[in-house]
Structure 1
Amino acid sequence: MGSATTQALAASTQALAAAKDVTLDSARELFAAARTVAESSQLSGALTDPSAPAEARQNVVSAVFGRFSPDVQNVLRTVVAQRWSSSSQLVDGVEELAIRAAAISTPQADIGGELFGFSRVIAANADLELALGTRLGGEDAKGALVDRLLAGGVSDAAALIVSSLVRQPRERRIRQMLARATRIVADQGDRVVATVHTAKPLTDAQRTRLSAALSRRYDGNVSLNEVFDPAVVGGLRVQIADDVIDGSISARLADLRQKLVS
């Protein structure tokens, strides 16, 4: 991510935080805006044209998205007033704002856990991953499939995020999109996501101790997502962003084998 995009995203996120009434409809409108911009090279070009005054770009927002709520229009005006490294990064930015809006609208739901849970369902079902990732078939049909799969099983906010991402993949894999969304939801709640690979489920006491230890190490609240992996054998393998803490027996055995042959 370029420095221009980093600054633009920070300003846009602040605009969303300052909005008075962020609802699930706000998230729907932001997802719709991202999709509209992504599907029109003419529109995306007009909204990111550095030679055009910010006011002119904001007027385009009013003309195209005038049916949206005042809060969403204000956020989009802030978005296009910034300098983005590319039009695709502007689309990414609006999509991130949509995910954040969904999280803001439903603070009581474990949206991150629901997204992670669905990603594990996909990981365990090759046919489902293929159905959602293939270029054959319309994106709306894939979205409808997700809607049926998630109906009543997750919060409306999580269902909206998954369905919207599937409808706008932009050459991305479904699990890649879900992982990004999970990180964004965690960040919105001032949390860090830790993926814990373990051979058997953690007890409540183990989960509490691990969460507390990681929170101290990373100076913030940590959400644990568990992956049951028999290959771990024993112990834990924890990944937070690019950091990996591997205390599994399998890792120790691999290290021992390496020392024996060296």
Structure 2
Amino acid sequence: MGSASREATVASRAALAGVGAKVDLTLAEQLFAAGRTIGGSLQLRTLLAEPAGDAAAKKAAIAAVFGSSLSATAVSLLETVTASRWSSVDDLLAGVEDLGLRAAAQSSNSSAVVIGELFAFGQTVTSNPELELAIGSKLGDPASKAALVDALVAGKVSGQSAAIIRHLVQQPRGRRIGRLVSDAAATVADQAGQVIATVTSAATLSAAQRTKLQKGLSARYGKPVTLNELIDPALVGGVRIAIGDDIIDGSIATKLAELRLQLAG
């Protein structure tokens, strides 16, 4: 993301913060829908993403396309987003999606629940090749993908998670399902002032181990940590932890590999 897009992102998030109590799941869904509409129209996304474009023309386009279908709050946020300078069309779409994700997170009673549901959906899909193909195929119809998601998650996840997943599969922007849910979960966590630690272990952690790990990581990073737990028997023992770009690898498999390298040298 270029510097222009970073500045635009800051301005967009500030605008969302200014909405206050008006942030709800409906607003999130409207922002997601607007992002898909923009992404699906070459003329519209070219106009709105043009750095040197006329601000009045952009505002008029937003009013013409969305004025009768979206809330005044959603329209105002879109005007703020498109008034900023973005480095690329994809960055603009990412900016709209970011606001939708943050609105969904803010409207939830538990960001941790949403994060867990997103990762669980991702694991369900990636563990089933046929399902992953149906959802991830570039040739698939977005509406059909949304219907498939509804069939999979109806009554099983929160409204926030369902709205997020439904949007992501319709507008993946070149990302595979694993990346889609991890990006979305990271944004939800950030909105809640949390970070996500992906913890890979050879066996399921006990409640005591999980609590100890969360407390230790929260103290280290200065904010609450939500765990995304994965099982990989190949690790033999210990855990591998990934938080952002940080990797903490205490697995026995890694230690054995390091030892073999030392002996070989």
TM-score computed with the length of structure 2 as normaliser: 0.95
- Are 2:79 and 1:77 aligned? yes
CA drift at 1:231: 1.0
**Counterpart secondary structure, 1:178:** helix
CA drift at 1:51: 2.7
Taking the aligned partners of 2:196 and 2:140, their CA distance within structure 1 comes to 33
CA drift at 1:31: 0.7
Taking the aligned partners of 1:3 and 1:107, their CA distance within structure 2 comes to 34
Taking the aligned partners of 2:83 and 2:52, their CA distance within structure 1 comes to 12
- Are 2:138 and 1:120 aligned? no
| Aligned amino acid, residue 229 of structure 2 | E
Q: Tell me the equivalent position of 2:93.
A: 91
| Aligned amino acid, residue 2 of structure 2 | G
CA drift at 1:228: 1.2
Q: Tell me the equivalent position of 2:12.
A: 12
**Counterpart secondary structure, 2:248:** strand
CA drift at 1:14: 1.1
Taking the aligned partners of 2:188 and 2:171, their CA distance within structure 1 comes to 18
CA drift at 1:52: 2.9
**Counterpart secondary structure, 1:146:** helix
**Counterpart secondary structure, 2:227:** strand
**Counterpart secondary structure, 1:145:** helix
Instruction: List per-residue Cα deviations over 1:174-233 (Å, max 9, x = no partner).
Output: 221111101111101111110000112212221111111111221211111110111111
**Counterpart secondary structure, 1:238:** strand
Taking the aligned partners of 2:260 and 2:110, their CA distance within structure 1 comes to 47
Taking the aligned partners of 1:204 and 1:117, their CA distance within structure 2 comes to 19
Taking the aligned partners of 1:51 and 1:236, their CA distance within structure 2 comes to 50
Give the RMSD, CA atoms, in angstroms: 1.3
Taking the aligned partners of 1:66 and 1:253, their CA distance within structure 2 comes to 62
Unaligned runs of 5+ in 1: none
Which aligned runs of 4 or more in structure 1 are off by greater than 3 angstroms?
none
Taking the aligned partners of 2:46 and 2:139, their CA distance within structure 1 comes to 28
CA drift at 1:55: 3.1
| Aligned amino acid, residue 220 of structure 1 | K
- Are 2:98 and 1:100 aligned? no
**Counterpart secondary structure, 1:51:** coil
Instruction: List per-residue Cα deviations over 1:63-120 (Å, max 9, x = no partner).
Output: 2110211111111111011110012210111011111111111133511111011111
Identity %: 48
**Counterpart secondary structure, 1:195:** strand
**Counterpart secondary structure, 2:197:** strand
Unaligned runs of 5+ in 2: none
- Are 2:10 and 1:30 aligned? no
- Are 2:210 and 1:207 aligned? yes
**Counterpart secondary structure, 2:8:** helix
**Counterpart secondary structure, 1:171:** coil
